[in-house]
Amino acid sequence: MSATFEKPPVESYERGEKRTKGLNRSQIRRARISGIVMLLLAAAVAVLFVPNAEGVATFGISTVDDAIQLDALVVPVQATLWAIVLILGFMGASQFVKGFQRRATLILGISFGLFTIAMMVWATAGAEFSLISMLVATVSRCTPIALGALSGVLCERSGVVNIGIEGMLLGGAFSGVVIGSLVGGWVGLLAATLTGGILALLLAVLSVNFRVDQIIIGVVINILVLGLTSFLTAQVLVKNPEWNDAPIFPSIQIPLLSDIPVIGPMFFNQTIIVYGMYVLVASVTYLLFRTRWGLRTRSVGENPRAADSLGVSVAKVRYWAVVSGGLVGGFAGAWFTLGTVGRFDEGMTAGTGFIGLAAMIFGAWNPVGALGAALIFGFAESLEQKFALLDIPIPTEFLAMAPYLVTIVVVAGLVGRARPPAADGQPYTKE
Amino acid sequence: MELELRGITKQFPGVLANDDVSLTARSGKVLALIGENGAGKSTLMNVLSGLYRPDAGEIVMDGVVQSFGDPGDAIEAGIGMVHQHFMLVPVFSVWENVVLGVEPVKGPGVLSRKEARREVREISERFGLAVDPDALVEDLPVGIQQRVEIIKVLLRGAKVLVFDEPTAVLTPQEVDEFFGIVDELKGRGATIIFITHKLKEALAIADDITVLRGGKVAGHADPKTATPEDLATMMVGRDIELVVEKAAATPGEEVLTLHGVHMLDDYGRAILDHVDLSVRAGEIVGVAGIQGNGQTELVEAITGLLPLAGGKVEFLGQDITHASPRQRHAAGIAHVPEDRNEMGMVESFSVAENLVLDSYYAKPFSRRGVMDGPVIREHASWMVEAFDVRPPLIDNTGGALSGGNAQKMIVAREFSREVPLVICAQPTRGIDVGSIEYIHEQIVKKRDEGKAILIVSTELDEIFALSDRIVVMYDGRIVAEMQAAETTPTEVGLYMAGKAA
């Protein structure tokens, strides 16, 4: 080995150096807009919440069967709301004037968080609110979203857009409940998973072999599954109610971990499907970024021609990725039936697959990022449920819209645009 | 390793892309394969790299007949392709790109990053190809990216290296470095096939030259004795002028003036950095520079396709900074855009329709908002004849034309108007020599009629063939300006590479 070899001058590659020359017009505009948004949030808290709020709000943070019982948080409503108004006002004003630049997204996120806290404090004034049960519900509700997003990550990392996640969820939910009712929960879970895989196989065949537009295939899968399950529900399940009565997976306490206050009941006293989600997020992350399979999958999603020229079979890689994505989507479908209510209702996934798609984008096509996004969406959904129970003067229909509004804001790119795989959605044809 | 192609024939629907092509590449030597676009070079290389199966003929390596079912077989046999458009994943690191397909693993399918980095380092040390295994490919300059491509094929044990237009994207200095690398590889006994249309480079580096024309071997040449004119004649099958005949310019008044034109990209970086430029009537100003140094944006600033962040654009003494593209067009700016298929025409429209894309709404082509078919067709028939667009079928779609003829169609549309300013971006990129010659003549003719001409080209030869005055762009700035007669390609090349003025 030659001793004269020198490490190449990486510095001279000007890595990222040019990007710090200050803000351009559109960035300034974006900083202004987010500043105004924060100021509006502050004003909303001051005008809407402060005048008719008094007393204290009580938040329960332990469940009855927790090993370590924590006292409920008791918060003075007026003082808390004013503090939030001040913080929001200050952050909004400084964002408007000078901008937080790199941290602007974080600051905006914190603002939405503070606004949410203000809303919760206001709604709970003079009452008691079980924060812990809401957090437990958050993790449970985030599960199908996170798994749906994971299904999307697997497909899109290989360059196949999967709009059909919703259909895979619904198909999994349906076959899970039928097989679960007839044979048993575990076999039902397996059936749900395979259903997703079969639907994904359809996506793989049409997109890889026949190069049909991937968006169209996804829409077809969604409509096909919705129609088929609705028909079968009306024709079969209604007449045979015993086919629509599956056992529900029980919550399993993980020893020790479930004893941690707050964290324990949130994450470690859940059903097997939630634990499956943890394992899948971790293992897909490892597979994508640490294994040969992952390297090849990502390369096919970024530059299939390059992969092909190196002897990597684009079709094979895409088949594997899409079908495993489908299996994950079907598994996620089981959450709706086997994981919660044990019975199937028409269209019961109610757009969760699309929220999962949004979580995938929000999480920048990264499994862990997608899980983070799913937690936010899950929180929004369970907050809506809680508010519906508290008697507050906001129509619950508006609250029900909240998660979708969050989705629009997120996907519209107020928090910056993530970069999708370069070959996402493009059929590959050899020259 | 000696590589021999014997009677390779490849038929596509309607085209005989390779017709009985035979050639030999020797160990430790460079074979230059030259030919016009559409001569069959790419097809031949795709056959060699296993992407296509030939209909007839065989590939023989060291006397052994090979059969490639897919690119993997060709790689296995020791053939390494360095494609013109790099086959790299920009968001991957160097090592990820290099080991893709032959990944070192520890345990079942788990990547060994350490081993991968070691393999990259070993190749780069052995062949003097310095590169950081952990750098992200998209952050690397093009010349270094090319090294990554070369490391990729060497790692796979390539004995025959095929370079497809390797110098097209390099600066003159990077070209010199590249030739150094080729010499190094030659010295180690590699067989090198160098595909190019740059005759001077072929003559400079090749040991053997094979010329393709119309899918057939047009002949072989010895670089020691052949001249560029000989090769060009073999390529097109007739005598051609490589030099554009033109008299000295007689510049008149200023037609176009840019004052401190400034433009930012999405990240707030300056892509045009306070550019001052003027073009006078009766002169050709050539903008030289490596692709991506602001030339595209310069043209789009003048034609009104992108908004400015600052500065002023004056045309015939009038401020047109805020005028729309159509207003500018109507005021008398013709524009031959750099991407002919994306911007220059609508591929699915007929030739006749493409010829009125800029004026379909005005008389005589439209009356009271209704297009006049017969007038448009008559206009088109006249134009395809006047500008030698072949085949002269005005009802064929624009996309059906070959590159050179499509470009002639666009030039016809833009040059047929009597306008004071003509902007030509990459006027002859990727087209055949005959069409280049024709378009160059048209440009000089326009100048001699007293029009102001702005040429943007990444081909230095073209800049020198046409320009009266040359400006060089680097990193969004004009770093040098000189009379064409008073400078040399070497000097311009240095400025193009960013050596400060």
Task: Convert the pLDDT of each residue in A266-290 to its tens digit.
Answer: 999 899 999 999 999 999 999 999 9
Nearest by CB: B269 against A7, A21, A291: A21
Strands (E), B177-222: 191-196, 208-213, 216-221
Identify the pLDDT of residue A413: 57
**Which one of A135-144, B81-90, B225-234 scores highest in mean pLDDT?**
A135-144
Residues of A whose CB is below 8 A from B71: 308-311
Query: How many CA atoms does the CB half-sphere of A419 hold within 13 Å?
Result: 7
Helix then strand then coil, in percent of chain B rounded to 5, is 35, 25, 40
Residues of A whose CB is below 8 A from B133: none
Residues of B whose CB is below 8 A from A14: 139
Distance, in Å, from the CA atom of B49 to the CA atom of B59, rounded to the nearest integer, reads 11
How close B90 comes to chain A (CA, Å)? 8
Residues of A whose CB is below 8 A from B152: 310
Please give the span between the terminal C-alpha atoms of chain B, in angstroms, as a whole number: 46
Q: Give the tokens for residue B459.
A: 């081909």
Rounded to the nearest integer, the mean pLDDT of chain A is 86
- A74-130, pLDDT tens digit by residue? 889 889 999 999 999 998 888 888 766 667 777 877 888 888 888 888 888 888 888
The region of weakest confidence among A45-59, A344-358, B461-475 is: A45-59
Residue B158 touches partner A, C-beta closer than 8 Å: no
Residues of B whose CB is below 8 A from A299: 89, 92, 96, 100
Contact between A165 and A331 under an 8 Å Cβ cutoff? The reply is: no
B495 pLDDT band, cuts 50/70/90, is: confident
Q: Give the tokens for residue B176.
A: 């010199």
- A202-260, pLDDT tens digit by residue? 999 999 999 999 999 999 999 999 999 999 999 999 999 999 999 999 999 999 888 88
Sign of CA dihedral B247, B253, B255, B260: positive
Q: Which residues contact A52 (CB under 8 A, 6 or more apart)?
A: none
Q: By C-alpha distance, which of B262, B418, B261, B414 is closest to B338? A: B414
Q: By C-alpha distance, which of B373, B434, B374, B447 is closest to B408? A: B434
- B361-390, pLDDT tens digit by residue? 888 899 888 999 999 999 999 999 998 888
Identify the pLDDT of residue A10: 35
Query: Which part of chain A is CATH 1.10.3470.10?
Result: 134-411
Residue A389: alpha-carbon gap to chain centroid: 24
The region of weakest confidence among A47-51, B219-223, B298-302 is: A47-51
Identify the pLDDT of residue A21: 40
Query: Is the pLDDT assigned to residue A292 strictly greater than 90?
Result: yes
Query: Is the pLDDT assigned to residue B470 strictly greater than 90?
Result: yes
Class of A134-411 in CATH: mainly alpha
Contact between B158 and B102 under an 8 Å Cβ cutoff? The reply is: no
Is 3.20.20.70 the CATH classification of the domain at B241-332+420-501?
no
Identify the pLDDT of residue A115: 87
Identify the pLDDT of residue B353: 94
b/e string for A121-148 if b means 16 or more Cβ within 10 A? bbbbbeeebbbbebbbbbbbbbbbbbbb
DSSP state letter for B482: E
Nearest by CB: A15 against B71, B92, B139: B139
The region of weakest confidence among A12-26, B45-59, B323-337 is: A12-26
* Average pLDDT over every residue of A286-315: 94
Identify the pLDDT of residue A110: 84
Residue B25 touches partner A, C-beta closer than 8 Å: no
Identify the pLDDT of residue B354: 94
* Average pLDDT over every residue of B234-256: 78
Q: Which CATH architecture has domain B3-236?
A: 3-Layer(aba) Sandwich (3.40)
* Average pLDDT over every residue of B195-217: 87
Query: Is the pLDDT assigned to residue A421 strictly greater than 70?
Result: yes
Residue B452, classified by CB atoms within 10 Å of its CB into exposed (0-12), middle (13-18) or buried (19+), is: buried
Higher per-residue pLDDT: B139 or B118? B118
Query: Is the pLDDT assigned to residue A412 strictly greater than 80?
Result: no
Identify the pLDDT of residue A230: 95
Identify the pLDDT of residue A261: 85
B173 pLDDT band, cuts 50/70/90, is: confident
* Closest CA in chain A for residue B42: A431
How many residue pairs bridge chain A and chain B with CB atoms within 8 Å of each other? Answer: 112
Q: How far is CA B35 from CA A398, B231, B427, in A?
A: 68, 9, 19
Query: Is the pLDDT assigned to residue A4 strictly greater than 50?
Result: no
Q: Which residues contact A345 (CB under 8 A, 6 or more apart)?
A: A233
Query: Is the pLDDT assigned to residue B498 strictly greater than 90?
Result: no
How close A13 comes to chain B (CA, Å)? 6
A395 pLDDT band, cuts 50/70/90, is: confident
A27 pLDDT band, cuts 50/70/90, is: low
Residues of A whose CB is below 8 A from B144: 13
Q: Which residues contact A38 (CB under 8 A, 6 or more apart)?
A: A88, A89, A91, A92, A95, A96, A107, A108, A111
Identify the pLDDT of residue A410: 62
| φ, ψ for residue A419, nearest 5 deg | -100, 115
Identify the pLDDT of residue B434: 80
Identify the pLDDT of residue B170: 79
Nearest by CB: A295 against B75, B100, B125: B100
Q: By C-alpha distance, which of B161, B86, B177, B163 is closest to B128? A: B177
The region of weakest confidence among A211-215, B21-25, B230-234 is: B230-234
